[in-house]
């Protein structure tokens, strides 16, 4: 067998040609140029059209009655919380294994995040932990469809209903994901998406809020536009910030949406091929297959690495060796959010009413998320756009490392 790349040998995954990301199309350029030449760059301009078009197209794509485009995925969650009438001092359940915006959005509206555990098999919120962590002050849950793999609604919705909680779906990773034939985002009360450039639907920045609730949608349109209604430029009906998406980004996203379905299908085929290849390797575990997931969006590909099956080789050294073989893996989110300095008690207390008791996050210990942070290995979604030879090289590279683990 060839020498390990870390020891000067050839890369096992030299055939893995990962496309650059983000990618644009000719239509992307045409749309943006059209917007620039129109001089209508703001969605409230008289001749603006692109953000309206994108909202309509995205609502149709995700089977939603309403869509409100905003500046990024973070403010999308903030807007969703306000659409659910979250007040300062309220408590909102959030997972600790996700991008910080899922939880920091809660503090941005003056509410208190309360962390629930995740299922280490799926990385999504554990419904049992949700039920256990509810208090008298809990008003809702922001759950994440991690890496595009949807939350288990069959288990989660009864818990949400029993405790009279709202459910916001943080679907930043899940453009195109379906649960039993229904697109995510409207299974709960409100759904949010991100179009940051690393996402499968990239607009540089940008986000959107979707809902089937007419009242919440009306509130969202008001609050995303500094409390304005209709075309009244200087009459404001609510105190709010400016969360609008620009026309330039709307033009770009209209074009990007056109190619998402085909790209997601390529990702799905390669996902299934990669899972099949990895399933033959002892010590590598992928997320469970689930017939209720009828379509997948993608942002990441995750697998769990078991050091014991690799003679105790640390995950850090395994990642280093696999990178050397030409596979662009990382540890992903390296720590639970409750271990982030931003969630020190003093920082959170500066955002919430003084009368509110803030949890001591640094004392929190949740076994599911600890298992995930200890074992998770991540690939970016663009790897799943490579050709089949490149996909097949990934398990071969892992096998090469395992066969020569004594040399590491």
- pLDDT tens digits, 234-269: 999 999 999 999 999 999 999 999 999 999 999 999
Active-site residue, 173 included: yes
Is there a catalytic annotation at residue 228? yes
Task: Choose, from 170, 256, 271, 400, the residue flagged as catalytic.
Answer: 170
Confidence category of residue 291, pLDDT binned at 50, 70, 90 = very high
Of 82, 173, 296, 402, the active-site residue reads 173
Which residue among the candidates 24, 57, 99, 374 is catalytic per the annotation?
A: 99
Q: Which helix (H) or strand (E) holds 207?
A: strand 207-211
Question: Is residue 98 pLDDT above 80, yes or no?
Answer: yes
- Please enumerate in sequence order all residues whose Cβ is within 8 A of that of 8, keeping only pairs 6 or more positions apart, or say none: none
Q: Which of 198, 125, 116, 120 is nearest to 155 (CA)?
A: 125
Q: What is the DSSP letter of 145?
A: -
CB 353 within 8 A of CB 303: no
Residue 305 annotated in active site: no
- Per the residue annotation, which of 221, 243, 244, 381 is the catalytic one? 244
- Annotated catalytic residue 224: no
Catalytic residue among 47, 136, 234, 406: 234
Query: Given the structure tokens 């916001």, which residue do they identify?
Result: 168
Q: What is the pTM of this model?
A: 0.97
Is there a catalytic annotation at residue 339? no
236 is catalytic: no
Q: Which two tokens stand for residue 287?
A: 């997320």
Among 228, 287, 381, 402, the one annotated catalytic: 228
Domains and CATH numbers, the chain: 5-20+260-334+369-407 (3.90.1150.10), 26-258 (3.40.640.10)
Q: Is the pLDDT of residue 130 over 90?
A: yes
Q: Quote the CA–CA distance of 130 and 364 in Å, as a whole number.
A: 15
Confidence of residue 133 (pLDDT cuts 50, 70, 90): very high
Nearest to 29 by CA among 179, 290, 268, 254: 254
Distance CA 301, CA 252 (A): 26
> Is 370 among the residues known to form the active site?
no
- 315 included as an active-site residue: no
At residue 256, the pLDDT reads: 98
Q: Of 43, 166, 175, 196, which one is the catalytic site residue?
A: 196
304 vs 375: CA distance, rounded Å? 5
pLDDT value of position 210: 98
């Amino acid at each position: 067998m060839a020498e390990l790349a870390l020891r000067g040998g050839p890369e096992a995954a030299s055939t893995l040609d990962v496309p650059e990301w983000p990618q644009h199309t000719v239509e992307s350029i045409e749309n943006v140029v059209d917007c620039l030449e129109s001089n209508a760059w703001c969605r409230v301009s008289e001749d603006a059209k692109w953000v309206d078009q994108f909202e309509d197209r995205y609502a149709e794509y995700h089977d939603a009655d309403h869509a409100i485009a905003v500046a990024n995925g973070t403010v999308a969650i903030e807007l969703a919380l306000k659409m659910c009438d979250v007040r300062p001092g309220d408590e909102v359940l959030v997972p600790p294994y996700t991008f910080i915006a899922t939880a920091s959005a809660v503090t941005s509206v003056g509410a208190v995040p309360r962390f629930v555990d995740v299922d280490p098999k799926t990385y999504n919120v554990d419904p049992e932990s949700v039920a256990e962590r509810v208090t008298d002050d809990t008003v809702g849950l922001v759950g994440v469809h991690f890496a595009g793999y949807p939350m288990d609604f069959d288990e989660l919705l009864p818990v949400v209903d029993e405790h009279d909680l709202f459910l916001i779906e943080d679907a930043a990773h899940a453009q195109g994901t379906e649960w039993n034939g229904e697109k995510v985002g409207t299974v709960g009360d409100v759904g949010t998406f991100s179009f940051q450039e690393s996402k499968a639907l990239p607009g540089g920045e940008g986000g959107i809020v979707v809902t089937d609730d007419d009242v919440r949608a009306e509130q969202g349109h008001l609050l995303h536009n500094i409390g304005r209604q209709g075309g009244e430029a200087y009459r404001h009906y609510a105190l709010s910030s400016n969360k609008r998406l620009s026309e330039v980004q709307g033009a770009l996203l209209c074009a990007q949406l056109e190619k998402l379905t085909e790209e997601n299908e390529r990702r799905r085929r390669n996902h299934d091929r990669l899972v099949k290849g990895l399933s033959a390797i002892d010590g590598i575990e992928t997320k469970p297959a689930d017939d209720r997931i009828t379509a997948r969006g993608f942002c990441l590909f995750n697998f769990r690495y078991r050091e014991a099956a690799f003679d105790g080789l640390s995950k850090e050294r395994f990642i280093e060796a696999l990178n050397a073989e030409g596979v662009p893996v990382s540890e992903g989110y390296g720590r639970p959010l409750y271990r982030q300095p931003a969630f020190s008690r003093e920082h959170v207390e500066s955002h919430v009413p003084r009368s509110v008791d803030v949890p001591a996050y640094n004392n929190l210990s949740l076994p599911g998320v600890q298992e995930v942070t200890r074992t998770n290995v991540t690939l970016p979604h663009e790897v799943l756009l490579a050709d089949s030879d490149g996909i097949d090289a990934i398990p071969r590279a892992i096998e090469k490392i395992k066969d020569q683990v004594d040399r590491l």
